[in-house]
Amino acid sequence: MTNPIHADDKAGTTSAVVGRRDMLRGAAAIAATALVTTDASARDYGRGAEPQRYPDPDIVVIDPKRFKAKVGNTVIKRLYTGCLWAEGPAWNAQGQYLVWSDIPANRQLRYLDDDGHISEQFHKPSDEGNGNTFDFEGRQITAQRTRLIRYEHDGSITTLAEQANGKQLNGPNDVVVHPNDKSIWFTDPGYGAISIYEGQKANTGSVQPYQKEAVYRLDAQTGQVTKVADDPFKPNGIAFSHDYKKVYVCDTGITHYPNAKNIVWQYDLNGDKLANPRTLIDMTLDGKSGFPDGLRVDTEGNIWVGAGWVGDGYDGVQIFAPDGQRIGQIRLPETCANLCFGGKKRNRLFMTASQSLYAVYVETQGAHNC
């Protein structure tokens, strides 16, 4: 570096020392600013990334009394990138792997926990598979563009549902399984039937391709599909509460309905029925509101919501207490579509976000099997 003070200056020595001190102070200030940056997009999350100082500044504690899941000595990592639209992560505990969907690419991928290997064509074609879960026999259930299916242990595929109310399903989106009666609960917003990018456009000329968007229950014994709710404009992510007394449903209807709001609905679960629909979560943060897409619940009953379409400082995962109050946030450089808990201790949060798969360890566990 060229010294700005001339050597023949009458106060050359003193000025040079002062100049160096000023430069050092400036460098320290720049370094300090870099450490507390809130710009998640400036980070390199890859395996060859520069070291990240603990604690991770993009794991944000909003309510210290209620959000105790932040781990001080862990960071957010990007495990894979290259998807067109990553969705539907689900954890297989028996096989110790994660499966997720790349809807427009018509494939599903798999991440192996033991060595980090990625199978880029685990299921291809996937019939534009979206949300996934595993039942209590370890079989993968997938919400495809036109139907709900199950991959059997022998490699065959069983169609679980294609119709409801005597009409074709719009396009199943997300799915969960109840442990007691093994019933399957799924949402049907129909995004795969109103876009050729993620499916095939239905020739109905409507944002309701075949019937009113709804939440359904599939009886494990009879195979009967019953509508249990149609309050959300476009029901998207779905999850049981940690004690299976409530059901949460994300509403992304604002994509097509001007009167819709970015909210998460809460229902009381009464056997095979849902009751008392009400708004639990308003996704507005600092005057900005984004989509609540997918969600999961931890063992303390907190609700982890994949969110986005707002920008830096909002996109990622937002965490809410059981009463709907926001208590924490995980900022990502991409819109987060969905998430799930996994890993050997079920304390690793996997997040599918636009083109990428991210993961971070947390000091809590997923309440359910995936």
Q: Could you state, in chain order, the average pLDDT of each consecutive group of 10 residues for the chain (370 residues)?
A: 38 40 43 48 75 93 97 96 98 97 98 96 96 97 96 97 96 97 97 87 80 97 97 98 98 96 98 98 96 98 98 97 98 98 98 98 92
CA 311 vs. chain centroid, Å, equals 15
- For the beta sheet containing 235-240, the strands, ordered from the edge strand earlier in sequence to the opposite edge, are 235-240, 246-251, 263-270, 273-282
Cα angle, residue 25 at apex, residues 21 and 31 outer, rounded to 5°: 145
- pLDDT value, residue 45: 84
Q: Is residue 369 part of a domain?
A: no
Q: Is residue 185 part of a domain?
A: yes
Q: Is residue 348 part of a domain?
A: yes
- pLDDT value, residue 228: 98
Strands 97-102 and 107-112: antiparallel
Q: Is residue 9 part of a domain?
A: no
Q: Is residue 305 part of a domain?
A: yes
- pLDDT value, residue 204: 75
- pLDDT value, residue 47: 67
Q: Is residue 14 part of a domain?
A: no
- pLDDT value, residue 43: 83
Total domains in the chain come to 1
**CB contact at 8 A, 266 and 274:** no
- pLDDT value, residue 23: 43
Structural domain boundaries, residue 163: 40-361
The identity of residue 192, as a single letter, is G
Number of neighbours of residue 84 by Cβ within 10 angstroms = 14
* CA distance to 103, 147, 154, per residue, from 144 (Å): 9, 5, 20
The CATH number for 275's domain is 2.120.10.30
Q: Is residue 25 part of a domain?
A: no
Q: Is residue 236 part of a domain?
A: yes
**CB contact at 8 A, 90 and 132:** yes
Overall pTM > 0.85: yes
Is residue 351 classed exposed, middle or buried when 0-12, 13-18 and 19+ CB atoms within 10 A define those classes?
buried
